[in-house]
Amino acid sequence: MDRLSTQTREIDKRYDFMMGSVRALGELAWQMIHDKNVIKRKKPDNTWVTNVDETLNDTFIEWAGQEFPGDLVWGEERSNSVKNDLAMADKHPLWIIDPIDGTKGFVRSYETDRFTENTSSIMVTHFMPGETVPTMSAIYNPFQDQKVLISAHRGKTFFETSAAPEPEVQTVDRDRAPRTLSEVRRFEQTHWKVATPDLDRFQELVPRARIASHQLFMGSVALGDVDVSVFPGPSNPHDVAPGALILHNAGGDVRTFANEPFEQVDWRRYPINGTVGTVHPRLGHEVVRAVMDRHEALAV
């Protein structure tokens, strides 16, 4: 068997592991919810974390270690090696996991016993040794009545739900996609204090648009649910790398607020200069230019 075939089989094996893992982690999260075993606390950065986040994070590290000894795992809550050690990542396969993206919403849904509209997701990304762009990724929302899973593998994006479990290849329709800010009708964003650029008033740039609750960050653009995804820096790879690959594989445009295109970003490295996800590169350029022009004007 030649080297290329061996590597392909290895990547396929890792994809199967990733997909099985996110589904199993979703079941574990639900078990803890049903057992009323959810405890929240504030982290030093004043954000919420729960024992569910930590349990899912630790469980994935354990599973990856059993299946692929020597692989690195960098989790939002814990890691099995030094985070951001790119020299090590150049030598070993790397997994990056956000066990529950959207912990605040997860806590609110648990406390009110209303998960119907919960947008929290389990997000996993994988890199082969030395690769700066992800090999594969998955974003899984197991908390709503209809579970949603979108993944990226072998240059394609796949979408499935619990109601339609057969994966379908997802591609964007660039011909019909908005190309200017004036055409944007729905967008998703994340912002926080001291973020750069400050996206707190992004909607002023798209006055006819409305914000949508995201559950598949940037994956929502790949599905055609929103026109623009914006996420400021300094951002962590676990927050943006999964959706970046999903949208890129679907044929969309992903760039940072430094206007670096997807292929030129090291998606393993913290910090990432924020991200912009659109279908059409013309719109991506305009978002970056408009936001950064505004940012520079406010800084004067």
DSSP 97-145: EEEEE-HHHHHHHHHHT--TT---EEEEEEE-TT-SS-SEEEEEE-SSS
For residues 7 and 42, state if they share a domain: yes
Q: Identify the domain boundary among 153, 169, 185.
A: 169
Q: Identify the domain boundary among 114, 148, 169.
A: 169
For residues 51 and 160, state if they share a domain: yes
Q: What pLDDT score was predicted for residue 116?
A: 84
What is the rounded distance in angstroms from the CA atom of residue 94 to the CA atom of residue 137?
12
- Number of separate domains in the chain: 2
DSSP 220-253: HHHTTS-SEEEE-BSB-HHHHHHHHHHHHHTT-E
For residues 14 and 34, state if they share a domain: yes
For residues 158 and 180, state if they share a domain: no
126-167 pLDDT, tens per residue? 999 999 999 999 999 999 989 999 999 999 999 999 999 999
For residues 216 and 126, the model is more confident at 126
For residues 8 and 53, state if they share a domain: yes
For residues 257 and 291, state if they share a domain: yes
For residues 144 and 195, state if they share a domain: no
Over range 110-131, report the average pLDDT. Answer: 94
For residues 245 and 275, state if they share a domain: yes
The dihedrals phi and psi of 57, each to the nearest 5 degrees, come to -60, -50
Q: What pLDDT score was predicted for residue 295?
A: 87
pLDDT-derived band at 124 (thresholds 50, 70, 90) equals: very high
For residues 218 and 139, state if they share a domain: no
For residues 71 and 195, state if they share a domain: no
pLDDT-derived band at 215 (thresholds 50, 70, 90) equals: low
Q: What pLDDT score was predicted for residue 97?
A: 98
224-240 pLDDT, tens per residue? 999 999 999 999 999 99
Q: Does residue 221 have a pLDDT over 80?
A: yes
71-93 pLDDT, tens per residue? 999 999 999 999 999 999 999 99
pLDDT above 90: percentage of residues in the chain? 87
CB 154 within 8 A of CB 206: no
For residue 23, how many other CB atoms are within 10 A of its CB?
16
Q: Identify the domain boundary among 125, 141, 169.
A: 169
- Mean pLDDT, the chain, integer: 95
Looking up residue 63, the CATH number of its domain turns out to be 3.30.540.10
Q: Does residue 300 have a pLDDT over 80?
A: no
Pairing, β 156-161 against β 168-169: antiparallel
Looking up residue 236, the CATH number of its domain turns out to be 3.40.190.80
Q: The domain containing residue 217 runs over which residues?
A: 174-299
DSSP summary character for residue 262: G
For residues 131 and 197, state if they share a domain: no
For residues 158 and 196, state if they share a domain: no
Determine the residue type at 117: E
Q: Does residue 9 have a pLDDT over 70?
A: yes
pTM value is 0.96
What is the rounded distance in angstroms from the CA atom of residue 229 to the CA atom of residue 224?
11
Over range 241-256, report the average pLDDT. Answer: 98
Q: What pLDDT score was predicted for residue 170?
A: 97
Whole-angstrom CA distances from 81 to 28, 51, 209 are 24, 21, 43
Q: What pLDDT score was predicted for residue 200?
A: 87
- Choose the weakest-confidence range: 45-49, 134-138, 239-243: 45-49
160-205 pLDDT, tens per residue? 999 999 999 999 999 999 999 999 999 999 888 889 999 988 999 9
Q: What pLDDT score was predicted for residue 134?
A: 98
pLDDT above 70: percentage of residues in the chain? 98
259-288 pLDDT, tens per residue? 999 999 999 999 999 999 999 999 999 999
